[in-house]
Amino acid sequence: MKDIANTGKFNDRFVTADGQDRASVPLSDPQTLWFNTGTLCNIECNNCYILSSPTNDALVYITPDEVSAYLDQLESRDWRVREIGFTGGEPFMNPDMIEMARRSLARGYEVLILTNAMRPMMRPKVQEGLRALQAEFGDRLTLRISLDHWQAEVHDAERGAGSFARTLAGMRWLRDAGLRMTVAGRSLWHEGEAKARAAYARLYTENGFAIDAEDPAQTVLFPEMDETVDVPEITTGCWDILGKSQSDVMCSSSRMVVKRKGAARPAVIACTLLPYTPEFELGETLAEAEGEVRLNHPHCAKFCVLGGASCSS
C-alpha cells in the first residue's frame, strides 16, 4: 500500500499531480442539510472516519436554536431541501436530539437520524420522545442503523464485543414502536454485494424488520474509507470517461453544519466525510456555502465518484 502523501496527489486545490484541471462540483440541487450533533459517542469503532469516541468532543453538541437558525436560512435562501439529516458521533448522546428532530419535522422536512441504536437511544426519555415523534409525524422520521455486517462476530470486531446484540435489541424496539428504519453496512470484507444483500435480507426476515435489502437507499453498503490508499484524482475529463455527472456526487446536493470546540458559531462544510479538513469549510452561513467544491481529497475519488456512495436517503 502506498502512502498517499508521497504521491504528489491532492496537494493543489485546482490542479492534479499530473497538471490537469481538478474536477469541481457545484451545489446544483440541494436535497439534504446535515447537522453533526457532536463527535461524542458511546463506543469507539476501529475505523471511524470522524474519530468519534466517548472522549472526542472536537465537534461539540449543536443546539436546537442553532438548528432553527439554519432552517430559517434554508427558507430565506430557497434551497428547497427535502431532508434534514443528523449524524455524529452518536446523535442520541446529544440531550437535545429529540427537540432538534421535532423542530425539523414541524417545518415540513423529512428527518434522517444516523444511530447505532444502542444505550443512548434506549434511554426511557429518548424512547418516549421517539414514540411521540412517530405518533405525530409517522414515516417522515427515519432512523438509519449502523449495522456494519450481518454476522455478529464481524460487526463486533469493528464496534466491540456484544455491540451486534445490543444494536439488534434497539432495532427490535424500533420495530415494535412502529418507527421507520434503514441500515448502513460496510463493504469491507470482499464478500460481494449480492451475497451481502442476501444475508442482510435473511437477517431482516428473521427479525421482522421492514427493510428492503435490495434497495440501496434502505440498505446502504458504504465502501471503505482509507485516506492512505492510492486512488486516482478526478479531473474535469473524468465525467465523460466514467459516464458520470457532477450531480451524482453528494456535494452537489448536500451540506453539513458543524460546531467546533471553542467556536462562537457553527460552520458549514462541504461534505459529511471531511469535518476536519480546513479547505472544505465554506463559511458560517448557507449563502457562503453555495459555491462549488473542488474534489481535492481521496474520499472524493474513492467514496463519492468511484464508489458512488451517498449519505442521504
The whole-number pLDDT of residue 312 equals: 46
d(CA 183, CA 169): 14
d(CA 71, CA 189): 39
Percent of the chain with pLDDT strictly greater than 70: 93
- Within its chain, how far is the Cα of 250 from the centroid? 11
CA atoms within 13 A on the CB side of 176: 8
- Considering the domain delimited by 4-306, tell me its CATH architecture: Alpha-Beta Barrel (3.20)
User: Could you tell me the CA-to-CA distances from 166 to 33, 64, 141, 142, 188 in Å, in that order?
Assistant: 29, 28, 22, 19, 22
User: Could you tell me the CA-to-CA distances from 305 to 24, 25, 235, 241 in Å, in that order?
Assistant: 11, 11, 11, 12
- DSSP for 34-97, please give it: EEE--SB-SS--TT-TT--BSS--SBPPP-HHHHHHHHHHHHHHT----EEEEESS-GGGSTTH
- Within its chain, how far is the Cα of 211 from the centroid? 19
d(CA 180, CA 196): 22
Q: What is the pLDDT of residues 139-190, one digit of tens each?
A: 999 999 999 999 999 999 999 999 999 999 999 999 999 999 999 998 766 7
The whole-number pLDDT of residue 226 equals: 59
Q: Which three cell numbers stand for residue 67?
A: 438548528
Torsion of CA 45, 309, 215, 114, to 10 degrees: 40
For the chain, the domains span 4-306
User: Could you tell me the CA-to-CA distances from 304 to 81, 105, 222, 252, 313 in Å, in that order?
Assistant: 20, 28, 10, 11, 15
Helix, strand or coil, per DSSP, at residue 213: coil
What's the pTM value of the predicted model, to 2 decimals?
A: 0.92
d(CA 160, CA 118): 12
d(CA 219, CA 217): 6
**Strand pairing of 24-25 and 293-294?**
antiparallel
Mean pLDDT of the chain: 92
Q: How far apart are the first and last CA of the chain?
A: 33
The whole-number pLDDT of residue 180 equals: 98
Helix, strand or coil, per DSSP, at residue 130: helix
Q: Which three cell numbers stand for residue 33?
A: 442539510
Q: What is the pLDDT of residues 58-108, one digit of tens each?
A: 999 999 999 999 999 999 999 999 999 999 999 999 999 999 999 999 999
What value does the CA radius of gyration of the chain take, rounded to a whole number of Å? 19
